[in-house]
Amino acid sequence: MTTSQAERDAMRRALALATTPGVPLGPNPRVGCVLLDDDGRVVAEGFHRGAGTPHAEADALARAGSDARGTTAVVTLEPCHHTGRTGPCSQALLAAGVRRVVFAQADPNPVARGGGEALREAGVEVAEGLLAAEARAVNRAWTFAHEHGRPFVTWKFATTLDGRSAAADGTSRWVSSRPARVDTHRLRALCDTILVGTNTVVVDDPRLTVRDADDRDLPVQLLRAVMGLRELPDDRRVLDDAAETVLLRTRDPHEALALLRARERQHVFLEGGPTLAAAFLAAGLVDEVVAYVAPMLLGSGRSSVGDLGIATIADAHHLDVVDVTVLGEGAETNVRLTMTPQRPVPLQED
């Protein structure tokens, strides 16, 4: 089914509404909705503000009131078809007398999907797929978690040009520049979990909070997850009340992610040491790599990643570079590389 220019413009507006500043990144998806009359004029707009609040469609319908009858609802995500903390949006649209529904992304959540088909069966015109890629990007981690049954994993590390995360004597302050550290906190704030190993906590005693440019904790913090079997000293800062902390008593990356998924976590920021990084890489559980490269050479010291069991260049892990950004200048320069691992292509059976 074709869509009009007014509907395409409305979808772009709905995507902007979905990404309204302050809207939580989880556990619910970010969704926007615009109601149009028959002439393509905006009747009302709405967006979802987080778990327990009205969904985008319900928000827009409430603002439109009786004017919602006969409109076209343009929504960034397929209207839900289940009852959770709020009722199904598919039924709300039907009850309001909406004539046509245009949505971007099909709902990957098996519990909530089905709204599009239910609306069709009730006689509502339904068009799907408009700006679907853009809509998926809005809820990248949420979509990934539902499609793969585990959180999306971003591995972040700082390294010298020759691949060292610390000098031979163990010192590492500062491989990353101040602009890189500020940028790291920006990336932390896009996730809902930060994950390190017990050795990092024992040796480095990090706080693992999200802070602003003045090093002040932000009001909303992510979950601090510490993975491993080693006992932690009671005085470690990760055990303070600045944010919630969970201890994952396992060394298995698959099990760790399963435990976090059970807590409805969607995006893990992996900031552990080289051993933990190697474990996740070897398990094929790294989905994005962010490296802050300092223009310095050490020649020896701790490697940025542990042993991957690779003996020949043919077995190397290859990454696709998707972004290169220079942060800072002079002695405070770092280059941020954002990369995605190349996934092996399955062999086709004859």
Active site residues: 57
Q: Locate tokens 């892990």: which residue?
A: 317
> How far is the C-alpha of 37 from the C-alpha of 149, rounded, in Å?
39
Task: Give residue 174's identity as a one-letter amino acid code.
Answer: W
Using alpha carbons, select from 127, 141, 107, 133 the residue that is nearest to residue 15: 133
Between CA 187 and CA 196, with CA 190 as vertex, the angle to 5 degrees is 65
Q: Locate tokens 């015109």: which residue?
A: 125
Q: Which residues pair with 224 in a beta bridge?
A: 194, 245
The length of the chain is 350
Sign of dihedral through CA atoms 316, 318, 324, 325?
Answer: negative
Q: Are 293 and 335 within 8 A, CB to CB?
A: yes
> How far is the C-alpha of 141 from the C-alpha of 192, rounded, in Å?
10
Query: CA-CA distances (angstroms) from residue 133 to 15, 78, 129, 143, 295?
Result: 11, 14, 8, 11, 36
Query: CA-CA distances (angstroms) from residue 22 to 143, 204, 220, 222, 331?
Result: 20, 32, 10, 15, 35
Q: Are 58 and 35 within 8 A, CB to CB?
A: no
Q: 38: exposed, middle or buried (C-beta count within 10 Å: 0-12, 13-18, 19+)? A: exposed
Task: Give residue 158's identity as a one-letter amino acid code.
Answer: A
Backbone angles phi, psi at 158, to 5 degrees: -115, 140
Q: Give 217's DSSP letter.
A: B
Backbone angles phi, psi at 301, to 5 degrees: 120, -170
> How far is the C-alpha of 100 from the C-alpha of 119, rounded, in Å?
9
